[in-house]
């Protein structure tokens, strides 16, 4: 049996914007414990669960949901210092990507395979990759143009336009 600390954790799949906004909100004050009562009605239940998953994966909160020193540091920092802290977190927590891929040349399929090995498949896998790419961009970690093109193309697809119909009234 695998010990709880040795289990693979699913990489973050909350939207990166939600994660960033959460960090910005913490500038007003960091609670002694991060839980549902902190964000109240600002977040839907599933979004809160996804955010907590992200915070645990990134080791920004401990098993008791108490803020880690890294969380305090990233919230209190700005500019280049914040970027360097984020870069360290991303490189550490996504070692499964950095240790096996040359990210400046990797294809979307190669990146997807690495996330699939972590249990991130399908729509959740796509969201995990989107979070990773956004975090890497925020930390100014160079990524392959193939990955960036694929991620942007996924985000910018539009729905087909409906044919204009006259109202019967």
Residues linked to residue 67 through DSSP beta bridges, in sequence order:
61
Give the C-alpha separation, 150 to 148, whole Å: 5
Q: What's 26's DSSP letter?
A: G
Domain boundaries, the chain: 10-154
pTM tops 0.85, yes or no: no
Nearest-angstrom CA–CA distance, 159 and 75: 37
Cβ burial, residue 161 (10 Å; 0-12/13-18/19+): exposed
Q: CA-CA distance, 153 to 108, in Å (whole number)?
A: 12
Q: Give per-residue pLDDT as tens, 57-95.
A: 999 999 999 999 999 999 999 999 999 999 999 999 999
d(CA 147, CA 92): 20
Q: Which of 53-67, 85-99, 144-158 has the lowest mean pLDDT?
A: 144-158
The closest of 72, 78, 77 to 30, measured between CA atoms, is 72
Confidence of residue 167 (pLDDT cuts 50, 70, 90): very low
Residue 159 pLDDT > 60, yes or no?
no
Residue at token pair 């550490």 = 92
Q: pLDDT category, 38, cuts 50, 70, 90? A: confident
């Amino acid at each position: 049996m695998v010990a709880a600390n040795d289990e693979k954790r699913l990489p973050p799949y909350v939207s990166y914007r939600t994660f960033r906004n959460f960090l910005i909100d913490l500038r007003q004050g960091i609670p002694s414990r991060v839980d549902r009562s902190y964000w109240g009605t600002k977040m839907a239940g599933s979004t809160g669960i996804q955010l907590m998953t992200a915070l645990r994966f990134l080791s920004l909160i401990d098993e008791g949901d108490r803020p880690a020193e890294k969380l305090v540091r990233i919230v209190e920092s700005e500019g280049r210092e914040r970027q360097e802290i984020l870069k360290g977190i991303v490189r550490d927590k996504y070692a499964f990507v950095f240790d096996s891929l040359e990210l400046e040349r990797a294809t979307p399929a190669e990146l997807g395979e690495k996330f699939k090995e972590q249990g991130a498949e399908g729509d959740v896998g796509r969201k995990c990759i989107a979070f990773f790419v956004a975090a890497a961009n925020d930390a100014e970690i160079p990524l392959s143009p193939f990955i960036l093109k694929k991620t942007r193309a996924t985000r910018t697809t539009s729905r087909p336009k409906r044919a204009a119909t006259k109202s019967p009234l």
